Structure 1
Amino acid sequence: MSGKKLWWSVSAVIGAIVVASVATIGVATQQHYADLSHDPAFSVADSAPVLIPADAENGVDNAALAARLDQLVTPDLGTLHGQVTDTVTGETVWQLNPDAPLQPASSTKILTAAAAIHELGLADVLTTEVVTGEEPGTVVIRAAGDVWLSNEQITELAEDIGSAENVLIDTSIWSGDLLLPGWDALDVDGGYVAPLEPAMLYGARIDDTEGDVPRSHTPALDVASALAAEVGADTVAEGVAPADAEVVASTESPSLGARIGQMLETSDNVMAEAIGREVALHRGDLETASGAQATQATLEVLEENGFDTSRVELSDNSGLSTLNLITPSLLDDILHDAAANDTLRPMLAGLPIAGGSGTLTDRYQDLSGRGWVRAKTGTLTSTSALAGVVTAESGRVYSFALLSNGSNVTAARAGLDQFASAIRES
């Protein structure tokens, strides 16, 4: 729902409450003062409304917009599939093979975020516990899927523990391959992903806390080593946390809302995979979750909430896999729902701003969409994606999803940015 339409709805509700209250007071007053007489009531002429909501029929020319978008489908975009929707009327303004899936790259994260919000709620947190081990002097980190751990949290855990001789880490909550189908092992050293273990410091980044810097090949052991250094332990290893062990320290992740925002803005693949596992573990009685279970859970949650996933194939929750296939219609439907309804709307706040934040910081510098387009990017070899929302000059808000395959990345990015800017100019 656009901001103007939301204002109109809220005003109507407030008005109804005020009218009901006035009516109740009026009845009571009439009963109490029924015998009194008075002059005719003073009347005031109706004033013009201060705010005028975006009208559903007037002020926009969606046919002209569609014609303009047709002109922007050039060979630079390779095989382009897409869809644009007027979020006020729900009208599909423009489409090109919207139900035919293409490789989505990181626009996959829109599915992951939407499923997590529906399944878990924005306030959900992950709790990592440290428990006593079976041997004296041993503590075990019970990993919970928190890849957002920080050095400050390790220090706080150590303060609660005191000292220990051995630090073990139990990673059994996640199962399956450490690298998913369609991934390149070189992407670990390239900084795009880490082996999927359920405890990491700063997403397993080496010598930095953010960005696409090289990642560790042993992220869980790195967490255990960091804690061992703080508590004076000599031994670090993987182990099993006793089921009934005493909890000696614990720490919580940021809220799901904060984690989704960070994941979308920076397009962090490790974060997306962790959120996908979190969704899977929340469903049913799973004690451990694999990558395949995580992608299945994402699709199931979306389907249960009315989204058509029948043509979608997911091998991961981040979009790093070259095997993923998603329809633009699904991406656009999710974004339209986020613009029109409350549940998914917070997801839009995490989308990068054209020319202003995240993966769109360096784009749109000379385009009209700068500052008005909020969109999830996606980039793989020969694949470019852009999916989000844009406020047009008319005040109307549009959702859109554009997938370009078989194209030069630089040329395709420029074409997609021009496309979204054309929506802004309508």
Structure 2
Amino acid sequence: MAEPVEKPTEEPLNRWGGWKAPTYLKRGSGSQDLRLVAGSAVLGLVVAVGAVLAAGPWDSGQRKAERDLAAVQERAGGAHHQGEASDTPAPAPSAPPVLTALGDTAGHSAAAGKNALAAALAPLLDSPALGSVRTAVVVDVATGEQVYADGATTPMTPASTVKIATAAAALSALGPHHRIATTVRLSPDSRTVTLAGGGDPTLDEAALRSLAADTARSLRADGAGAVRLTYDTSRYSGPAVHPIGRNENIARVSALMADEGRLDGSTRGPAPRTDDPAGDAARTFAELLDEAGVETRSGPTPGRTAAGARTVATHLSAPLSALVERALTNSDNDIAEALARQTALKAGEPASFAGGRRAVTARLKALGLPTAGARLADGSGLDRADKVTATLLAGLLALAADPDHPELRPVLTGLPVAGFSGTLGDRYTATSRGTGLIRAKTGTLTGVNSLAGTAVDAKGRLLAFAFLASGTTSPDEAEAALDTLAAALTGAAG
């Protein structure tokens, strides 16, 4: 039985009947940039993956290996020259040896290419493994043209692929260099110290230890004695428990927490969570203050920061770009919800589920994206009330490659690499079709499976895609069917 879907309002259509992408993807230096992106995905993975695994996937919002490779290619003659633009993007400078093996289709007309793509994708999309309702959109990133669409404007439950929208909105609102501050403030009478949460779910014991040391130095300089310790979580509002209820996939949403409230020492995936993330973080801070030589009169208590209090210690999170990449690579629900709330605060909305929904939606509209039928109930995709279209997700990915929107680039660099990293690490192997040519965000709920990302085709074009399925009965079979669809975009699927 097909899921009921909301009727979207009409959106501008291109000549293929799909959403008309904004004219932000220009010929010239922009297409050259995209060829460099494609080239790094084709040839650079042999070098880049080793560097990523050795150094970690996050480097202040850019994958270091890809950035270095792009710079090398530019020095080797990758700069655009007047008069080189054409209607069809040329293969990436580094790609020809690989593309020859895949089968070069550069001589095909645009119409023939679209027909071939439809012939390849349509039967795969009809797989029973993809459930009762399935939609798909593929966009040529260099031109913004929708080259394949099936159910493009049908709102679907996206599961974790909604993190793409959350991440793009946060980067657009705050910029990739934004850092979330956790502060310690001292009351005007020097008798009360307050640990004030700013919404950083990646705060850890090392950060709390540094805050305690800085606080102790400041108190000694002031000649302060024993202090009362409070903690302030007022930056966030609304329900702390996600609408799905208590769940090992996400902690209680709090402006103050350490290690995402995890109780087992893990850094990713499901884990037992504390019922009191803010209180636990404050108690750890109290112990560290004691070690640093600061006497507290009693255990920490919740409270608001005193009027006129001054900041005596500050910890800044990793840059937002790195948080986005971590959220996408590991499908981190706690970071995703924090990104939605940071977007809400920037917009002057309450830092709550409702405020995040309004702020993220408004940001996507401001970017010129088609939001008809969309409902962004949370930032993580755990809520089944979330609805997006394949057109919106593919459009977001294409926009993230726009040379005029470098602030969105971490949306692409954070996508797991097929067969190598994150939630795609075990979905492809080194010998699988599409390995290394596909980067995509996964999505899984009971009966819902999705995949949205980018792929390099046999002509060296970078394609953005979104495949959404509901009514699935076997997660393993649905994931395999989605992976086959994505692999078909590379030209490697037979």
Question: Does TM, scored on the shorter chain, surpass 0.5?
Answer: yes
User: Could you say what secondary structure the match of 1:384 adopts?
Assistant: strand
Query: Equivalent of 1:155, from 199, 204, 209?
Result: 209
Matches within 5 A, 1:398-417: 398-407=463-472, 408-417=474-483
How far did 1:342 drift?
4.4
**Aligned runs of 1:196-235 on 2, under 5 Å?**
196-211=253-268, 212-232=270-290, 233=296, 234-235=298-299
* Residue pair 1:4, 1:53 contacting (<8 A) in 2 also: no
Letter in 1 for 2:154: A
- SS of 1:415's equivalent in the other structure is helix
Aligned-partner Cα distance in 1 for 2:95–2:402 = 15
CA contact (8 A) 1:56 1:89 kept: no
Residue 410 of structure 1: how far off its partner (Å)? 1.3
5+ residue gaps in structure 1? 17-49
Partner SS for 1:84: strand
Structure-1 separation of matches of 2:320 and 2:367: 19
Query: Does the residue aligned with 1:403 lie in a helix, a strand or coil?
Result: strand
Q: CA deviation at 1:13?
A: 7.4
Deviation readout 1:291-311 (Å, 9 max, x if unpaired)? 101111000011011011121
Aligned in 2, Cα 1:14/1:327: closer, same or farther, shift over 3 Å?
closer
Taking a change above 3 Å as real, the CA distance of residues 246 and 62 of structure 1, as seen in their structure-2 partners, is: same
For 1:93 and 1:175, how far apart are their aligned partners in 2?
A: 43
Structure 2: any 5+ residue segments left out of the alignment? 1-24, 37-73, 83-91, 97-103, 220-225, 291-295
The letter of the residue matching 1:354 is A
CA distance in 2, matches of 1:352, 1:7: 19
The whole-number CA distance in structure 1 between the counterparts of 2:314 and 2:105 is: 52
Instruction: Specify the SS of the correspondent of 1:375.
Output: strand
CA distance in 2, matches of 1:361, 1:301: 31
Q: Is the 8 A contact 1:280 1:297 kept in 2?
A: yes
> What residue in structure 2 maps to residue 381 of structure 1?
446
Letter in 1 for 2:129: D
Q: Tell me the equivalent position of 1:31.
A: none
User: After superposition, what is the alpha-carbon deviation per residue over 1:41-91, rounded to whole angstroms, capped at 9, x for unaligned?
Assistant: xxxxxxxxx959999974683321221101202111012111111222333
2:228 alignment counterpart: 166
Identical aligned residues as a percent:
36
**Aligned residue for 1:93?**
147
Backbone CA RMSD of aligned residues: 2.6
The one of 106, 116, 121 equivalent to 1:69 is: 121
Q: What's the secondary structure of 1:370's corresponding residue? A: coil
Give the C-alpha shift of residue 125 in structure 1. 0.7
CA contact (8 A) 1:128 1:144 kept: yes
Q: Which amino acid aligns with 1:331?
A: L
Greater shift in the superposed pair: 165-174 or 267-276: 165-174
d(CA) in 2 for partners of 1:419, 1:53: 22
CA drift of 1:145 comes to 0.8
Contact 1:5 1:53 in 2 (8 A): no
Q: Which amino acid aligns with 1:225?
A: R
- How far has the Cα of 1:4 moved from its partner? 6.2
Q: Number of aligned residue pairs: give it.
A: 386
Deviation at 1:167, TM superposition (A): 2.1
Distance 1:12 1:374 in 2: 23
Give the 3 Å change call, closer, same or farther, for CA 404–89 of structure 1 in structure 2: same
Q: Using the alignment, how far apart are the partners of 1:205 and 1:3 within structure 2? A: 43
- Counterpart CA distance in 2 for 1:388 and 1:136 is 52
CA distance in 1, matches of 2:80, 2:115: 35
CA deviation digits over 1:340-362, x for unaligned, max 9? 43422232000001111111111
2:389 equivalent to 1:334: no
What amino acid maps onto 1:86 in structure 2?
D
Q: Which amino acid aligns with 1:397?
A: L
Structure 1 segment 62-141 matched on structure 2, within 5 A: 62-73=114-125, 74-78=127-131, 79-133=133-187, 137-141=191-195
Secondary structure of the residue aligned to 1:168 is strand
TM-score by length of 1: 0.84
1:304 equivalent to 2:361? Answer no
Letter in 2 for 1:296: R
Distance in 1, matches of 2:93 and 2:479, equals: 37
Shift of 1:184: 3.0
Does 1:391 find its partner at 2:456?
A: yes
Answer with 73-82 or 51-60: which moved more.
51-60
Distance 1:7 1:84 in 2: 16
Deviations 1:332-387 (A, max 9, x none): 11111123434222320000011111111110125211111100001100001100
Structure 1, residues 210-229: CA drift from partner, whole Å, max 9, x if none?
02221211111111011100
Amino acid at match of 1:295: R
TM-score by length of 2: 0.73
Determine the structure 2 residue equivalent to 1:19.
none
